[in-house]
């Protein structure tokens, strides 16, 4: 009960801070405060919460699916694949609707992640660090293809936008796609037991009566949609899906039915917190939330690797 | 009754099971013995319906395990595979309750909760129920997994080397418990278990299924089938059965 109170309070506090921190004064005379709030601050706040919560959930699903604690979507090539889809559709049909672009990105993310799952079957599981390394290289190769296409078609500036998660451009009417993340999050929560069972290993899950392939595939679709939506609307934010589920797992274990709300909450408040830090640290200029999180996330990741006992496989 | 007819299983071109036909009667403990690489684990997986064979048939209690849907499979057979690692950090109680998942799909009823408590009690896990699996010793973890398989409440339990990493006291604890479970009476289970300790086999098994190089060597009641000569042939090293203090033990000859 206390936990929920604490969670609600921090969320409220950060949302409040986010609504009133920024270059334009909400209570200033020169701009209509109400308009600033509705058009920019609230959408920006929601975008950060949705992207953060969604990526954290995606990370939890990926970790259970490949049975490795040290991976997340951006360490299995998912955002890079989404970008590949995006750049291809941008070249082929520059005027396509956002929904079309997002669908293509989600489809590409799905194929790319499937490719990684196939690769993962052949990676020895003895050393848990090996899998994220393979994923890093795999994502790097796809990323290189994206860069090459962008370079030859003069679209390199798009890549910067997709790669660095950033909320200063979020305006009413340009972020609503992110609410899809909330729907996907609800679906993930419905499948929480099944996803936990993926983390018991294929043999155990199947003998408990789980349709393993179907569950794996469904998880993959949900993760791909989240990542594609985030990449399309605010840009990829690495480390959220890695760090957040690991913190929650150390703290409260992996019973996802119980812990997924916490995972989503922690991802949401951490990303919003990073966005707020990014707004004030060089005021009146801004630092992208993704960059702030990457610095924080790298620190926590190193701590997880070295300071905490190595239990990537439990 | 488990019936296996002409079962052939291949993986990456190599035949792991070659034309195996065997029947397991209900009740009692059936020990699956044989040297490493004999195909024992593969046979268990095939019985549980987790492997698609080249050809052959597997039925458990009349249910064709090869074509059965996952929930139907899981209502006939609980398989405890050899698990090296588990990513999910669960408490013992959470793990055991997943044994009931096929019954409640996330909404445990009174009966499910009762079975979970019974499983914890049956395998002496009461004091450990709220501990996380990664904070347990190998033996305690193994008992938790056996309890999960038991909680699944299937007529058949297939256990793949559940005694590895257990000290003698826990081996005895688990085997005594499994022995009780297979006696006639309410809630009687039938167990197929892969064993490497032949003295444990001699003490607890009602029936023997011996395998080597993917083929069935022999099967039958332990008292008739398990002889020093058979074991020596099976493992390719001299073995004899001696009686010490009224119990059969297997020793090198």
Q: Which has more confidence, A224 or A170?
A: A224
pLDDT band at B245, cuts 50/70/90? Answer: confident
Distance from C-alpha of B7 to C-alpha of B17, rounded to nearest angstrom: 7
Phi, psi dihedrals of residue A161, rounded to the nearest 5°: -65, -45
The answer to whether the CB atoms of B89 and A208 lie below 8 A apart is no
Chain A positions touching chain B (beta carbons under 8 Å) = 63-64, 67-69, 125, 192-193, 196-197, 199-201, 203-204, 206-212, 249, 253-255, 257, 311-314
Over range B220-244, report the average pLDDT. Answer: 92
Residue-wise pLDDT for A211-257, tens only, equals: 999 999 999 999 999 999 999 999 999 899 999 999 899 888 899 99
Q: So what's the pLDDT on residue A235?
A: 92
Under a CB-based contact definition with an 8 Å cutoff, are residues B197 and B203 in contact?
no
Average pLDDT over all residues of chain B:
91
Size of interface A-B (CB pairs under 8 A): 105
Q: How far is A195 from chain B (nearest CA, A)?
A: 10
Residue A308 confidence class, pLDDT cut points 50, 70, 90: low
- What are the respective helix, strand and coil percentages of chain B, to the nearest 5? 35, 30, 35
What is the predicted pLDDT for the residue at A40? 87
Lookup result for tokens 């992640």: A113
- Record: contact B86-A201, CB cut-off 8 A: yes
Whether the predicted pLDDT of A301 surpasses 80: no
- What single-letter DSSP state applies at residue A70? T
Q: What is residue A313's predicted lDDT score, i.e. its pLDDT?
A: 44
Say if the Cβ atoms of A253 and B85 lie within 8 Å: no
Give the pair of three-digit tokens for residue B155: 């007529």
Which chain A residues have a beta carbon less than 8 Å from that of B149? 207
Q: In whole angstroms, what is the distance from residue B96 CA to residue B175 CA? A: 19
The pLDDT score that the predictor gives to residue B158 is: 95
Contacts of A254 in chain B (CB under 8 A): 87-90
**Confidence check: pLDDT of A314 > 70:** no
Query: What residues 35-54 of chain B have any CB closer than 8 A to a CB of chain A?
Result: 45, 48, 50
Residues paired with B31 in a beta bridge: B193, B208
Residues B73-93: what's their mean pLDDT? 87
- For Cα atoms A114, A118, A122, give the angle at the middle one, nearest 5 degrees: 155
- pLDDT above 70 (res A42): yes
Is the per-residue pLDDT at A309 higher than 60?
Answer: no
More confident residue, B84 or A137: A137
Residue A306 pLDDT greater than 80, yes or no: no
Cα-Cα end-to-end distance for chain B: 36
Flag the least confident range among B12-16, B89-93, B228-232: B12-16
pLDDT value of position A122: 87
**Cβ B134 vs Cβ B153: under 8 Å:** no
The tokens for B171 are 């081996």
pLDDT at B26 over 50: yes
Cβ of B88 within 8 Å of Cβ of A254? The answer is yes
State yes or no: pLDDT of B49 exceeds 50: yes
Residues from chain A contacting residue B106 (CB–CB below 8 Å): 192-193, 257
Looking at beta carbons, which residues of chain A come within 8 Å of B81? 201, 203-204, 207
Out of A199, A209, A211, closest to residue B88 by CB: A199
| pLDDT for position B11 | 85
pLDDT in tens, B134-193: 888 888 888 899 999 999 999 999 999 998 878 888 899 889 989 998 988 877 899 999
Q: What is the pLDDT of residues A80-106, one digit of tens each?
A: 999 999 999 999 998 888 889 999 999
CB contact under 8 A, B86 and A125: no
Instruction: Give pLDDT, residue B84.
Output: 64
Burial class (CB in 10 A: 0-12, 13-18, 19+), A9: exposed
């Amino acid at each position: 009960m206390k936990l929920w109170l604490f969670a609600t309070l921090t969320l409220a506090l950060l949302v409040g801070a986010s609504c009133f921190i920024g270059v334009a004064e909400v209570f200033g005379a020169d701009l209509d405060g109400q308009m600033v709030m509705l058009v920019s601050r609230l959408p920006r706040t929601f975008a950060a919460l949705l992207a953060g919560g969604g990526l954290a959930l995606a990370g939890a699903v990926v970790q259970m699916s490949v049975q490795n604690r040290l991976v997340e979507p951006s360490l299995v090539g998912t955002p890079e694949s989404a970008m590949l889809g995006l750049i291809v559709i941008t070249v082929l049909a520059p005027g396509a609707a956002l929904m079309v672009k997002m669908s293509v990105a989600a489809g590409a993310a799905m194929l790319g992640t499937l490719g990684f799952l196939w690769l993962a079957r052949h990676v020895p599981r003895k050393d848990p660090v090996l899998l994220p390394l393979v994923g890093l290289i795999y994502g790097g190769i796809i990323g290189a293809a994206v860069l090459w296409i962008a370079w030859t078609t003069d679209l390199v500036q798009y890549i910067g936008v997709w790669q660095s998660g950033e909320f200063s451009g979020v305006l009413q009417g340009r972020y609503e796609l992110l609410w899809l993340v909330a729907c996907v999050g609800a679906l993930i929560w419905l499948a929480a037991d099944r996803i936990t069972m993926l983390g018991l290993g294929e043999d155990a899950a199947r003998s408990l009566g789980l349709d393993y392939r179907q569950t794996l595939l469904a998880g993959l679709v949900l993760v791909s949609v989240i990542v594609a939506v985030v990449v399309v609307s605010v840009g990829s934010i690495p480390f959220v899906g890695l760090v957040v589920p690991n913190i929650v797992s150390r703290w409260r274990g992996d019973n996802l039915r119980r812990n997924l709300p916490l995972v989503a909450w922690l991802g949401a408040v951490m990303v919003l917190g990073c966005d707020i830090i990014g707004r004030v640290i060089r005021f009146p200029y801004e630092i992208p939330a993704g960059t702030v999180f990457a610095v924080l996330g790298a620190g926590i990741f190193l701590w997880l690797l070295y300071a905490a006992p190595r239990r990537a496989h439990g | 009754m488990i019936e296996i007819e002409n079962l052939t299983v291949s993986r990456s071109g190599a035949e792991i099971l070659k034309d195996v036909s065997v029947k397991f009667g209900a009740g009692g403990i059936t020990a699956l013995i044989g040297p490493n690489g004999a195909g024992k684990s593969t046979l268990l997986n095939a019985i549980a319906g987790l492997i698609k064979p080249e050809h052959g048939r597997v039925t458990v209690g009349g249910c064709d395990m090869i074509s059965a849907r996952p929930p139907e499979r899981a209502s006939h057979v609980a398989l405890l595979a050899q698990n090296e690692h588990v990513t999910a950090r669960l408490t013992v109680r959470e793990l055991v309750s997943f044994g009931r998942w096929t019954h409640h799909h996330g909404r445990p009823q009174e009966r499910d909760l009762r079975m979970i408590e019974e499983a914890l009690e049956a395998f002496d896990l009461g004091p450990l129920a709220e501990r996380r699996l990664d904070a347990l010793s190998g033996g305690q973890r193994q008992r938790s997994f056996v309890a999960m398989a038991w909680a699944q409440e299937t007529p058949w339990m297939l256990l793949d080397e559940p005694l590895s990493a257990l000290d003698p006291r826990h081996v005895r604890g688990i085997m005594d418990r499994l022995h009780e479970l297979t006696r006639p009476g309410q809630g009687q289970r039938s167990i197929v278990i892969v064993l490497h300790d032949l003295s444990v086999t001699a003490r607890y098994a009602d029936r023997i299924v011996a395998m080597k190089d993917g083929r069935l060597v022999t099967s039958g009641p332990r008292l008739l089938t398990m002889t020093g000569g058979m074991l020596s042939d099976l493992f390719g090293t001299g073995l004899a059965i001696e009686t010490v203090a009224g119990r059969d033990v297997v020793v090198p000859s």
